[in-house]
Structure 1
């Protein structure tokens, strides 16, 4: 599936901003299942400084400085991305989850060693016994890793309510567990915390989700979403994605931007400014299928 993706962030300020420094993680990531055909960044006012590099996790990072006084800053990331079908995974034939957890204690190869770094707490993912107990209701002795992970994905989808405004990025996962409410980043953090609490490697994935309008209505511009889900590491298959917000294994409608330990490693736009006073932020995302050639 080929998509044209546009992510626009618009800042409006009550008074002029004299200098704006912004760190961006908006460029889609190349992988075995995703080909980035083209990508560009359009910033108004034009940046005086602009640099790019790759972070520790392999994500593309862009840094820019705007030194022209402004009351509005518009950052638009525009990409064409090809998403390839995932493999047909037989969840029941994955190794027992205890075997994988045990292997993380003494990794025997480079891939396992790399995965083991995602077993620990991170700034937005605290690991506590109540999360471990929540996970163990699903991760029963001997249960295949991926089968249990899909079951936990379904539990979060069924037992929690998707509701904005009750949490923010700083809400601890234990609080999300108590509230039984939140948004995609909360549910991703929660499931990651549960997996790490029982010794399993899990990482946070940032990207976009193509949405569908109600039947009989046109799709609105900017109506698609930034989205978050997670991956768990399986020795035979590598990293396998799960989406607890939608109760599925991501396939053709998820576009990946990057991954890390938690939201903090892949925050799309962050920075600081001089001036501005009160401000408003508007974000619009479009993920539009296209029939254009990949070449």
Structure 2
């Protein structure tokens, strides 16, 4: 599938800023099943490209001098091949054991340990992982504004509400209980007829099965395997290490944020 993507992020401030620095992970990953046909990132200020520890292409953005707005525009076209039951082709140089380490956002507590034992008794097989996603979707209702990007998995489970990053964090936390490698994925999805946003988060989990050993990509929010409607931006241990935009500023007063994302298939 060929996807056309446009992502506009605008920060506005009630007072002038003197300095802005942001890490941008807004460039799709080059992977065996995903090829970037064209892509651009446009901002004011200065951008320096970098490759992080997880192989994500990013840019360090710095803006100096007085400004009261930061606008970031990213977009282009990406070709994504279908996946067989979410199985990602190719091999990674990085050991999957890197993704068994809990973080502040994915640290399991007693409630999560009990949830993982109840809904994932047979360990890291594809069917079991998909069943876990279904249990998370049933236990944590999708509710925009119910949580923040700083909300840990344990709180989202207690609240019973959250969004895609909460579903992903809870899935990762349950995998940590069983020692199963699992990683966070940020990116875009062609939402089709659903009401969910085109900016999305899901997971990859490591499986060892008779006919396959490797990463399986699972959309926890929709309780299904990821496929050719998904464009991968970044991977990490959690949102913090794969966030599309993160940064700090000097000055600015009160901040308001506007994000507009559009994803649509291109029919040849």
User: TM-score, normalised to structure 2's length?
Assistant: 0.90
CA contact (8 A) 1:10 1:73 kept: yes
1:76-123 deviation digits (Å, cap 9, x = unpaired): 011210111002479xxxxxxxxxxxxxxxxxxx96971012112113
Q: Distance in 1 between matches of 2:151 and 2:10?
A: 25
Q: Secondary structure at the match of 1:67?
A: strand
Q: Which has the larger radius of gyration?
A: 1
Q: Residue 100 of structure 1 aligns with which residue? A: none
Going from structure 1 to structure 2, the CA distance change for 1:52 and 1:186 (only over 3 Å counts) comes to same
Matched, 1:66 2:63: yes
Q: Residue 145 of structure 2 aligns with which residue? A: 165
Q: CA deviation at 1:258?
A: 0.9
Q: Residue 190 of structure 2 aligns with which residue? A: 210
Q: Secondary structure at the match of 2:108?
A: coil
Q: Residue 84 of structure 2 aligns with which residue? A: 87
Q: Secondary structure at the match of 2:59?
A: strand
Q: Distance in 2 between matches of 1:161 and 1:3?
A: 28
| Greater shift in the superposed pair: 174-183 or 56-65 | 174-183
Matched, 1:175 2:177: no
CA contact (8 A) 2:108 2:173 kept: yes
Q: Secondary structure at the match of 2:105?
A: coil
How is 1:96-245 mapped onto 2 (pairs within 5 angstroms)? 114-141=95-122, 145-213=125-193, 224-235=197-208, 236-245=212-221
Q: Secondary structure at the match of 1:140?
A: coil
Q: Residue 263 of structure 1 aligns with which residue? A: 239
CA contact (8 A) 2:29 2:234 kept: yes
Q: Secondary structure at the match of 1:80?
A: strand
CA contact (8 A) 1:129 1:197 kept: no
Q: Residue 15 of structure 1 aligns with which residue? A: 15
1:196-228 deviation digits (Å, cap 9, x = unpaired): 1111111001011212358xxxx9xxx942111
Count of aligned positions:
262
Unaligned runs of 5+ in 1: 91-109
Structure with the higher fraction of residues in strand conformation: 2
| Greater shift in the superposed pair: 19-28 or 123-132 | 123-132
CA contact (8 A) 1:224 1:287 kept: no
User: TM-score, normalised to structure 1's length?
Assistant: 0.82
CA contact (8 A) 2:124 2:206 kept: no
Going from structure 1 to structure 2, the CA distance change for 1:88 and 1:205 (only over 3 Å counts) comes to closer
Q: Distance in 1 between matches of 2:38 and 2:69?
A: 27
Q: Distance in 1 between matches of 2:132 and 2:230?
A: 20
Matched, 1:279 2:259: no
Root mean square deviation of aligned Cα: 2.2
Q: Distance in 2 between matches of 1:111 and 1:27?
A: 19
Matched, 1:75 2:75: no
Unaligned runs of 5+ in 2: none
Q: Secondary structure at the match of 1:35?
A: strand
Going from structure 1 to structure 2, the CA distance change for 1:151 and 1:56 (only over 3 Å counts) comes to same
CA contact (8 A) 1:2 1:83 kept: yes
